[in-house]
Chain A
Amino acid sequence: MQPDRAERVAEIVERALEVDVGERGPLLVDLCGSDRELFVEVASLLQFQEKARDFIEAPAVETVAELLADERTGLQSGDNLDGYKIVSLLGEGGMGEVYLADDTLLGRKVAIKLLKYGLGTTNLVRRFHEEERILAGLTHPNIAQLYGGAITVNGLPYFVMEYVDGKRLDEYCRENQLPIRERLELFRKICAAVSYAHKHLIIHRDIKPANIRVTPDGEPKLLDFGIARLLDPQTSTIAEATMTFAAVMTPEYASPEQVRGEAMTTASDVYSLGVLLYELLTGQKPYKIANRSPTAVTQAITTHEPTRPSTAVRENQSSEIRSELLRGDIDNIVLKALRKEPERRYTSVSQFSDDIRRHLEGHPVIARKDTFNYRASKFIRRNKIGVAAAAVIFLTLIGGMVATGWEAHRANRRFNDVRRLANSLMFEIHDSVKDLQGSTPTRRLIVSRALEYLDSLAHDAGNNIALQRELATAYEKIGDIQGNPYSANLGDTNGALASHRKALAIREKLSTRRTSTELQMELGRSYRALGDILEQKGEIAETVRDYRQSLSIFEKLVAAQPADFSVQDEFARAYEVLGDGLGRMANNSTERSEAYRKSLSIRQDLLAQKSSDGKLRRSVALTFLKVGATLEAKNPEAVGNIKRGIEMLEGLSQEDPNNERARREVGYAYYQLGNTLLQKGDFSAALDARRKAFAIRQEIAAEDPKNVQAQFDLAVAYGDLAEALSATGDNESALERARQSLSMMQALAKNDPSNAVYQRNVGLCYERLAEIRARLANDDKHSVAQRVSDWTEARNWYRRGAELFSALRDQGTLMPIDSDRPQKFSARVRECDNAIAALK
C-alpha cells in the first residue's frame, strides 16, 4: 500500500471509531467518496471491532507467565533418549539443561546437554552437525570429550559428552585451600587445553569457572564447547547472535570486543582466561559492576581498568591470600591478559601460560606494568573534553554530596561511598590527569578534596583496625602525590610530610593495639617513607633518624620471625635505605658501606633459600654494586664487588634477552664500574667500562627510536663517555661526545619543555663542555690565542649553565642536589674571566 493510502485508511478508521455505530455509514460514504477500494478496506477493519475489544489487551507476558514459570524441556529420570537412559538432572543453564545418563550401548555414564531452543532452519541443522563433528574431533586430557550430538523428535538439539564427576574449579580451589602456586599450575593445565583447541581453530568463547570441573585426582576438565565457533572467517556470520548471547549470559567473563559484538579471536579467550585467573587468585571479579544492565556491563568491560589483583586482595578483609604474593609479576601478568585492546594482550594462550611458568620458576616475566604515558594517553583519548575541567566538575559534584550527606548518613554505606570516592580520587582520577600539561591546579584540588574526605573518615573510622589501616594507606598515597621523590609529584614537600606523619601516627597507634607482623611491617615502611620525604627537604639528620627507626622495627621483627621471607626482605631493604641516607651525610663511608654489606649478606642468605628467584638475584646484584661503589676505590674489593654485580646482572639479562630493564641495568653497572675505575685512576679501564655502557644503551635506543627513556639514557651515556675520554687526556674526542650528548638532550627538552629533569641535564651538559674546554685551556702546550679561545668557550658554557639553573630555581623546579649550582657556575664564570685576563 502507498504510505499516504495507509495513512488515509487509519485516519478514516480512527474517526469512525469515535462516532456511534449508527453514524458510521454516512461518515464513511462522506470520507471515502467514490473510492470503493478504500471503503472496503476501512469497513473490513471496522468489522472486527467487537472481536478486537479484548484482543491483546492483556500483556504478552501474562499469556506466557504460566508457561514460563514451570517450563522445563522436561526429561524425566528413566526416560530414554535415542539409547541414552536419563539418570538425573545435573543442572540448568540459560541455554538448556544438562542430564546425567547411561549410555546403554557402551555401558558408560555420559552427560547430555539438551538445548531449549529448536533449530528452525535446515541450514542451522546442517551447521549443528558440522560443528558437532568438528568438536568431536577435539581429544585432550583436559577437555571433556564430545561423543556426538543429535536432534530430538521435538526438534531440540542435544550433545552427548564425557561425564566429568568433579567440583567446579573455583569451589575446588576454595575447599582445598589451594596455595597460589598450585592454583597457577592448575590454571596452566587449563591453558594447555584452550591452546590445544586454538590449534584446531576452535575458540571456546565462554570460559568461566562453571565450565571447568576438577576431577578428584586434580585434573581440570574444560566443559561445554557448546557455543564455540570455528575461527574460519567464512562461517562467522551466523555466529553473531551466539556471540551477543554468550556476552549477556556470562558478562563478567566476556571480553571488550565480545560485548561490543565485534569479531572474537583467540585473544578473546586469553582475556576470559585472564578473568578466570583473576578470580582464582583474588576470589573477586576484576570489575565491580553495580548492576547487570547491559549498559553498565558494557561500560565496565570496555572502559574500567581492573583493580590490581594485589590491591583487590588487600582491600578484601576476608581474603586468605596475601597481597604481597600477587604484587608485581602476578599483577602484571593478569593485567596483561585483561588489556582492552586484543593486540596488547598475550599473543597466544601458550605465551600467557609460559609467562606464568617463568614466574613460578623465578625468571623475569614478559608482562610489564602498563606505562603511565600509555594510561594517560588512553584516558585522554577516551575523554575528549578537557580532562582537567571534567575532574573539576566531578570534584564539585562530590564535594556537595559529601558536605550535605556526611553528618546525616553516618551509615556504613555512606562511609563506604566516601571511602571509595577518596580512593578513586587518588588512585584513578589523579593518576589519569597527573601527566597532563597544566593539570597542577586540578591535582592540587584533588589532593585537598581527598584530604578533606580522609580527615572526615579518620574522624568516623573509630576503632576499626581495618579502616584505620586503610586510612593510613590513603594518607600515604596522598603524601606520595604531594611529594614522593621517586615519582611525579606536586612538589608540595611540606604537605607530603604532613600526610605521611598522619599515616605514621595511625600506624603507631595501631601497633600498640595489636601485635601483628603485618602492622609492624607497615609501621616500618611508614618510617621509611617519612625519611624519604625528609631527605627531599634536605633534613638529612631526621632522614637518617627515621631510617634507623625503620631498621630497628624490622630488626625486632626478624628476631621474632627469623624464618619469614618477607620480613627478612624488608630488613635487607631497611639496611640499604639507611646506606642511601647516610650517603647524604659527610664522613660516614664506613657505616654506609657496612649497611650495604649487611643488606647484601641478608639478601645472599635469602638467595641461598630461593636460588631461582629472579627478583632476589637482581637485588643482590644491585647491592653488590652499591657495596662496591661505597668502598674506597683503591680497595680491590670495590672493583671486585662491582664486577660480581655485573656478572649477575649479565646472567639475568642473558636468560631473558627481551627484558629491556635487565639490559639497562647492565649498562648502569658498567657506568658504575667506570666511576670507581676513574676514582682509582685506572683511566683506560674506566674508558672500556664506559664504552660497554655506551654500546648497550646505543643498542637499546636503536631498537625503539620512540622510546624516550632509551634516548635519554643514550644522551647521558655520551656524556659519561666524554668524561672518561677526557680523563685519558683525549679532550678532543671528549668534546665531540659531549656535544652529541648536549644536542640529544636539547632535543628531548624541546619535546617536553615542562620536564625539569631534561632541563637539568641540559645544564649538566653545559657543565661538562665547560670542564673539557677548561682542561684544554689549561694545556700550556697550546698557543695563547687558542687557550684564550678555550677559556672563552668554557666561560660561555658556565654562564649558560648559571642562567639555566637560576631559571630552574625561579620556576621552583631546582632539585636539592643542584641547589649550589647557580652560585658555583657564577663563580666559575669569574674564574674563567680571571684566567683570560691573566693570559692577556
Chain B
Amino acid sequence: MPLVYEELRRLARSYLARERAGHTLQATALVHEAYLRLADETQLTWKDRAHFYGVAARLMRRILVDHARAHNAAKRGGLRQKLTLEEARELPTKSNVDLVELNGALESFAHDYPRKSEVVELKFFGGLDAKEISEVLQISEKTVLRDWNFAKLWLCRELNEQHAA
C-alpha cells in the first residue's frame, strides 16, 4: 500500500522532527494520525470503525514487515547471517526486535491462539490501547490484558528458541 506507506513515512519524519525539538508525542499517535488522515473517521459508524482499525492494523503489519524485510535484505546483501550466541542471548529486547521474525512467530501463534494474535496485531502493529482493542474485538479490557501478557511470553519464547537453534 504505497499510498499509506508514503503518508506514514512523511509522518514519521515530522514525528521525529518534533521529538528532536523536545515535543514528546505518543508513538501510537503516529499510527492513528496516518490512518485518520486516510479515512475520515467521522463518516464511519462504530461498527465500521472497529472493522477499520482491524484492517488498519493488518495493513500496518504488512507495511512494517515488508519494510523490515527489504531493509534486512539491503543490509545483509540478501543473505541472512547467523547470529552469534552472545547476540542471540541479547535477543529479543525492546529496541532490536526483528519484525520479520516476529511476524513469523505471530503466524505460528495465531494457529493456536487466533484471538490473542489479533490482540497483538492491534496493539503492536496497530498502536491501539486496551480499551480500543476491547471495543474492536468485543471482549473485556481485562481479557485484552491477559491475552497480551500471555502472547508476549509465548512470542518471546518462540523467538528465543529460534535464535538458540
A residues with a Cβ closer than 8 A to B are 1, 3, 6, 10, 13-14, 17, 44-49, 51-52, 54-71, 73, 93-95, 116-118, 120, 153-156, 245, 248-249, 251, 290-296
**Could you jot down 28 A-B contacts, CB within 8 Å?**
A14-B149, A17-B149, A45-B154, A47-B157, A48-B156, A48-B157, A52-B152, A55-B152, A56-B120, A56-B155, A59-B30, A59-B31, A59-B124, A60-B64, A60-B99, A60-B124, A61-B31, A61-B64, A63-B95, A63-B97, A67-B67, A68-B12, A69-B9, A71-B67, A117-B70, A153-B77, A251-B3, A292-B38
**A30 vs B40: C-alpha distance when bound (angstroms):** 52
B68 touches A (CB below 8 Å): yes
**A62 vs B5: C-alpha distance when bound (angstroms):** 15
List the A side residues contacting B1 at CB < 8 Å.
245, 248
Q: A14-B146, A94-B5 given as contacts; is B124 within 8 A of A56 (CB)?
A: yes
Contact among B2, B12, B112, B146 with A65 in the assembled complex (CB-CB below 8 Å): B12
**A39 vs B26: C-alpha distance when bound (angstroms):** 40
**A61 vs B9: C-alpha distance when bound (angstroms):** 10
Contact among A45, A51, A60, A249 with B2 in the assembled complex (CB-CB below 8 Å): A249
What is the distance, in angstroms, from A617's C-beta to the closest C-beta of chain B?
Answer: 49
What is the distance, in angstroms, from B51's C-beta to the closest C-beta of chain A?
Answer: 10
Q: B85-106 interface mask toward A, CB cutoff 8 Å, 1 = contact, 0 = none?
A: 0000000111101010010000
B153 touches A45 (CB 8 A): yes
What is the distance, in angstroms, from A258's C-beta to the closest C-beta of chain B?
Answer: 14
Question: Taking CB as reference atom, which chain A residue is nearest B152?
Answer: A52
List the A side residues contacting B125 at CB < 8 Å.
59-61
List the B side residues contacting A54 at CB < 8 Å.
93-94
List the A side residues contacting B8 at CB < 8 Å.
61, 68
List the A side residues contacting B120 at CB < 8 Å.
56
B77 touches A62 (CB 8 A): no
List the B side residues contacting A73 at CB < 8 Å.
74
What is the distance, in angstroms, from B59's C-beta to the closest C-beta of chain A?
Answer: 9
Question: Taking CB as reference atom, which chain B residue is nearest A68?
Answer: B12
B69 touches A (CB below 8 Å): yes
B153 touches A46 (CB 8 A): yes
- Not counting A6-B113, A64-B64, A118-B69, a sample of 10 additional A-B residue pairs whose C-beta atoms are within 8 angstroms of each other reads A6-B112, A48-B156, A58-B94, A60-B125, A61-B27, A63-B99, A65-B12, A69-B15, A71-B9, A156-B74
B40 touches A291 (CB 8 A): yes
A10 touches B60 (CB 8 A): no
What is the distance, in angstroms, from B98's C-beta to the closest C-beta of chain A?
Answer: 10
**A67 vs B67: C-alpha distance when bound (angstroms):** 9
List the B side residues contacting A60 at CB < 8 Å.
60-61, 64, 99, 124-125
What is the distance, in angstroms, from B157's C-beta to the closest C-beta of chain A?
Answer: 5
**Chain B interface mostly helix, strand, loop or mixed?**
helix
What is the distance, in angstroms, from B38's C-beta to the closest C-beta of chain A?
Answer: 5
B39 touches A (CB below 8 Å): yes
List the B side residues contacting A57 at CB < 8 Å.
94
A-B pairs under 8 A by CB, number: 164
Contact among A52, A154, A296 with B74 in the assembled complex (CB-CB below 8 Å): A154
Question: Taking CB as reference atom, which chain A residue is nearest B7?
Answer: A292
B127 touches A59 (CB 8 A): yes
B149 touches A248 (CB 8 A): no
List the B side residues contacting A67 at CB < 8 Å.
67, 71
List the B side residues contacting A3 at CB < 8 Å.
112
A248 touches B3 (CB 8 A): yes
List the B side residues contacting A49 at CB < 8 Å.
153
Which of A13, A14, A55, A292 neighbours the largest number of chain B CB atoms within 10 Å of its CB? A55
List the B side residues contacting A292 at CB < 8 Å.
3, 38
Question: Taking CB as reference atom, which chain A residue is nearest B64?
Answer: A60
List the B side residues contacting A68 at CB < 8 Å.
8-9, 12-13, 67
**A319 vs B151: C-alpha distance when bound (angstroms):** 58
**A3 vs B115: C-alpha distance when bound (angstroms):** 12
**A51 vs B12: C-alpha distance when bound (angstroms):** 28
Question: Taking CB as reference atom, which chain B residue is nearest A293?
Answer: B39
What is the distance, in angstroms, from B147's C-beta to the closest C-beta of chain A?
Answer: 8
**A67 vs B39: C-alpha distance when bound (angstroms):** 25
